[in-house]
Amino acid sequence: MKTASCAFVLLAGTLGLVAGSGAVHAQRIEPRAYINAPVGINFFALGYLNSSGALVFDPAIPVTDADANVDMAVIGYLRTLDIAGKSAKAGVILPYASLDADGFLDGNYVTREQIGLADPAFYLSLNLYGAPALSLQEFKDYQQDTIIGLTFRLTAPTGVYQSDKLINIGTNRWSFEPELGISKAIGPWTLEAAAAVVFYTDNDEFDSDKTRQQDPVYSTQFHVNYTFANKVWLSLGATYYTGGKTTIDGVERNDLQENWRTGFTLALPIDRRNSIKLLAQSGVSTRTGTDYDTLGVFWQYRWGGGI
């Protein structure tokens, strides 16, 4: 059924990598973020992500030859809305992570283990063109052409953070990310592109008592999606992000980010209310601190809106 196949990806599509680093927001590979769905539907998602490799949550950290393994459990909730006749959605993502990392700091081998809540993410997405707010009955006759939308994401500094440690799950700062996206359907294919920028507040407890500032991170992402006759869909995507140079107590660091990542997503509808999503992502070209691989699986349940 078209309604179910379109609807079940809404929350799973927003649950890319949501680890504690503010830089990670720009690294999301997030297909089908702007598709339309009937209003009044609720989504609950439960997922697991594993990231391993040269991953440091904060590229400003002066750790070399870093290697890390991060296991993350993710809970998410989303609801589709009607805002001035346009389809919209609002949601929250709550991650819980276990970090095991090692590397060299000033020539000395160091290790770090930490477990706890990562920074939660809140977001609001509004489709401006091509995706009117529709009831479930009205949505049965809807056919996508071109959709243009906006998304606003906010992360709060409530993740676990120890100021005397350089590597942490939490970031001890706020971040805000506006994004503009476009989605074009051509038969069973959907082509997508999005551009975003992440702004950060200062962390005034970096390395105990230092003030860390970070320039915005700019990103783009592109996706090619294909929906099969049985409503299974597959997406191949890539993201490029740059910027994010940091300053510690007024001293600028040489940590400009210029990185590419790529990945695929496979979505498997089970029935009208349940679905599974599998994802894999990897660094392709990395300048600063994010050459790692990610594997993930999510289960999603939906209700309301006449389903």
> Tens digit of pLDDT for each residue in 24-33?
455 678 899 9
Q: pLDDT value at position 18?
A: 39
Range with the poorest average pLDDT among 120-124, 196-200, 291-295, 296-300: 291-295
**Contact yes or no for 164/144 (Cβ under 8 A):** no
Secondary structure class of 24 (helix, strand, coil): helix
- pLDDT at position 26: 52
Model confidence at 53, in pLDDT bands (50, 70, 90)? Answer: confident
CA dihedral 19, 22, 27, 31 (to 10 degrees): 70
Alpha helices (runs of H) in the chain, residue ranges in sequence order = 2-7, 9-12, 136-139
**pLDDT value for 4:** 41
- Provide the mean pLDDT of the chain: 87
Q: Report DSSP state, residue 132.
A: B
Torsion of Cα atoms, 37 then 41 then 46 then 50, to 10° = 20
Residues 91, 51 contacting (CB under 8 angstroms): no
- Answer for the pair 101, 67: CB distance below 8 angstroms, yes or no: yes
- Check residue 263 and give its pLDDT: 94
The CA distance from 32 to 14, in Å, is 9
Quick one: average pLDDT of 28-50?
A: 92
Higher pLDDT, 64 or 127: 127
pLDDT exceeds 80 at position 231: yes
Report pLDDT digits (tens) over 252-285.
988 788 888 999 999 999 999 999 999 999 877 5
pLDDT band at 218 (very low <50, low <70, confident <90, very high): very high
Q: Which of 192-196, 215-219, 227-231, 251-255 has the lowest mean pLDDT?
A: 251-255
Give the residue extent of every domain in the chain: 2-303
End-to-end CA distance of the chain: 11
Q: How many other C-beta atoms lie within 10 A of the C-beta of residue 65? A: 9
CB 130 within 8 A of CB 148: yes
Quickly list DSSP for 173-208.
Answer: S-EEEEEEEEEEEETTEEEEEEEEEEEE--EEEETT
CA distances from 179 to 199, 257, 258 (A): 12, 19, 19
* 286 DSSP β-pair partners: none
Give the CATH H-level superfamily of domain 2-303.
Answer: Autotransporter beta-domain (2.40.128.130)
For residues 172-184, give the mean pLDDT: 96
pLDDT (0 to 100) of residue 289? 54
Residue 22 pLDDT exceeds 50: no
125-129, 151-155, 203-207, 287-291: the lowest-pLDDT one = 287-291
Lowest pLDDT segment from 25-29, 115-119, 197-201: 25-29
For the cut 90, the answer to whether the pLDDT of residue 63 exceeds it is: no
CB neighbour list of residue 4: distance below 8 Å, 6 or more residues apart: 231, 269, 272, 307
For residue 56, pLDDT over 60 is answered with no
Neighbouring CB atoms inside 10 A of 48's CB total 13
**Cα distance between residue 253 and residue 251, in whole Å:** 6
218 forms beta bridges with 197, 242
Percent of the chain with pLDDT over 70: 86
Residue 180 has which token pair? 């503009």
- Dihedral of the alpha carbons of 288, 289, 293, 299, in degrees to the nearest 10: -110
Q: What does the pLDDT read at residue 62?
A: 64
